[in-house]
Amino acid sequence: CFYAFVEDLCSLNQCKREQRCVFVTFCPNSCQSIPVSNDTRDLLLATVSEDSTASQIHQSVSALSALGLPLASQEVVSALKARISKEDNVLAIILALLTASRLSQQAELGDILEEIEDLAARLDDLGGVYLQFEEGLEATALFVSAAYSLSDHVDMEPPLKEDQVIQLVNSIFSKKSWDSLSEAFSVASAAASLSNNHFHVPVIVSAQGPAAVSHSHPFLRLQVTDVLCQPLSSASVLAESASAVSSKSAVLSQALFTLRDGVFELNFMASQPASGYYQFSVAIAGDSRFVANHVELKVKVSTRVAINNMDLSVVDKDQSIGPKTTRVEYPTKAKASFMADGHQNFAMTFQLVDETTGVELTPHQTFVRLHNQKTGQEVVFVAEPDSKNLYKFELDTAERKTEFDSISGTYALYLMVGDATLENPILWNVADVVLKFLDEEAPGTIQAKTLYVPKPEIPHLFREPEKKPPTAVSNTFTALVLSPFLLLLILWFKLGANISNFTLSPSTILFHIGHAATLGLMYVYWTHLNMFQTLKYLAIIGSLTFLAGNRMLAQKAKWFPLHFLSFGTRLISQI
């Protein structure tokens, strides 16, 4: 407690009511020696009622209990219950929980205790990993510290299941920097209550450094701490099982870690695991409060690789001459260079073994690189193992000439071996190989492969118009198609088409005009209009023609042949 506040407290009567409460709330219990006036005490007691907000009740109750003043717990409980039902937001209920943890244990805190379960039901599950209130991180962290402080106070286990606690821990400690001081305070408060309460203590297990062992570092080291990174020395760490990821065979079972300098360690190399990845299942026991005390870890076992039996040979293609094999030891280089032209193949075989155990290895990267020192060209091939894990590489110069661009010369041969589980990746200049290609095919100048220049343009080919027949043919056929019309006229004339009975009455004339207009519209439609415009005009002309035609029908003039004749002119459109 800061005694600088004492003077302020003495002059509390002049200060505003809320400020006084805030000053004293966060005092530790030793503030009981501060003298407090009766007015202040009455003010604080008066705040404990249904009409103050939950935060005001919390501040005055905390002030009263910190100052050691008596307060009626049952009144506080009923005021809190009334506030909870009125305010019903997460923060108010959390403050009620915090207030209740300051009250006497004899008070009836059962209803307030039930609020923990109700609040826990309001948490949002995000992907099964995080559990937090929609109000945010601060509310979640304050909830955790309030729930545990009240549970400790009444000595009843909070109704939070193990995976809920794990998810809450994930949410609360998900950020590495916080937006406001109050958010940081809430996280610190949650961390303190999670590492130091009577019921649930989440355990954090992490490997010290990378989770990898090798012959030089045979110990797997684990740090077992609570959320405040305080080591749990009373714990006992047991590796329940360790099995290889690739083959799923168990390597270890029920091995106990030993504690040394606050770190738990296990000599994994003593079980002589082959190199690769292993899945560890670790259990932490020692305290019934431990939560999240079964962990899965992936551990890498590294090793060093050695190259055995590196044999280089030049094999004649027709196999008339036996191959000459030269053995080269790592890391020396073959003294003589090898010659291969179109008639010979160059071959290389070797074995990759674990340096200590001699077990054959198949690393991820086994490359053979040929580098032309003069031109700077390099070509990389992959060496593949056969069924007995013996690596083979064969170079047929005739077959591979495209990769080399048929450039003859001396190439330095390198072997590259690498893998995540190898401690000593290898780049070894094994020998020099002189390759001879047919000289005619070599390009005049060496060009660097241009990958990122603009490509040649693709010209667009427009659709060719279809072949039309010659105009003479078209014209002939047009005449041919129109000729039957003449025939029709002749026939009608012969039959005695009746034009004489042409009565000039307005409806007849209108009908003929309308009819001709329809024909004209058809022609204009063909050349200029679209369907909608045509229908519009046709509606107008058609209705006029129809009315006129009706009138004509009523008159029953001998219109038949003439109209039939005029109608025939429609068929000129069949071109």
Partner 1 sequence: MSNSVFSVISRFVEEYRSSTPNKLKMIDAYLLYILLTGVFQFLYCVLVGTFPFNSFLSGFISCVGSFILAVCLRIQINPQNKRDFQTVSPERAFADFLFAHTILHLVVVNFVG
Residues contributing to the site for partner 1 (CB under 8 A): 466-469, 473-474, 477, 480-481, 483-485, 487-488, 491-492, 495-497, 515, 518, 522, 525-526, 531, 534-535, 538, 542, 549, 553, 556, 560-561, 563-564, 567-568, 570-571, 573-575
Contact between 116 and 132 under an 8 Å Cβ cutoff? The reply is: no
User: Measured from the CB atom, is 448 or 531 closer to partner 1?
Assistant: 531
DSSP 8-state code for residue 303: B
* Shortest distance, position 550 Cβ to partner 1, whole Å: 8
- Burial class of residue 41 (count of CB atoms within 10 Å of its CB; 0-12, 13-18, 19+): middle
* Shortest distance, position 466 Cβ to partner 1, whole Å: 6
* Shortest distance, position 443 Cβ to partner 1, whole Å: 52
Spell out the SS3 assignment of 463-483. Answer: CCCCCCCCHHHHHHHHHHHHH
Bridge partner list, 312? 326, 348
d(CA 361, CA 350): 12
Residue 314, SS3 per DSSP? strand
DSSP 8-state code for residue 231: B
User: Measured from the CB atom, is 26 or 546 closer to partner 1?
Assistant: 546
Nearest CA among 226, 232, 228, 127 for reference residue 171:
127
* Shortest distance, position 461 Cβ to partner 1, whole Å: 21
Angle between helices 38-47 and 17-25 (to 10 degrees): 90
d(CA 26, CA 141): 18
User: Measured from the CB atom, is 221 or 512 closer to partner 1?
Assistant: 512
- Burial class of residue 136 (count of CB atoms within 10 Å of its CB; 0-12, 13-18, 19+): middle
* Shortest distance, position 491 Cβ to partner 1, whole Å: 4
Nearest CA among 159, 307, 161, 280 for reference residue 212:
280
User: Measured from the CB atom, is 26 or 560 closer to partner 1?
Assistant: 560
d(CA 413, CA 432): 6
Count of Cβ atoms closer than 10 Å to residue 484 Cβ: 11
* Shortest distance, position 514 Cβ to partner 1, whole Å: 10
> Of how many residues is the chain composed?
575
* Shortest distance, position 500 Cβ to partner 1, whole Å: 14
User: Measured from the CB atom, is 308 or 483 closer to partner 1?
Assistant: 483
Nearest CA among 387, 370, 368 for reference residue 379:
370
d(CA 327, CA 550): 115
User: Measured from the CB atom, is 274 or 522 closer to partner 1?
Assistant: 522
User: Residue 519 — φ and ψ, nearest 5°?
Assistant: -65, -45
User: Measured from the CB atom, is 502 or 526 closer to partner 1?
Assistant: 526
* Shortest distance, position 526 Cβ to partner 1, whole Å: 5
User: Measured from the CB atom, is 81 or 563 closer to partner 1?
Assistant: 563
d(CA 286, CA 95): 34
* Shortest distance, position 504 Cβ to partner 1, whole Å: 19
User: Measured from the CB atom, is 453 or 487 closer to partner 1?
Assistant: 487
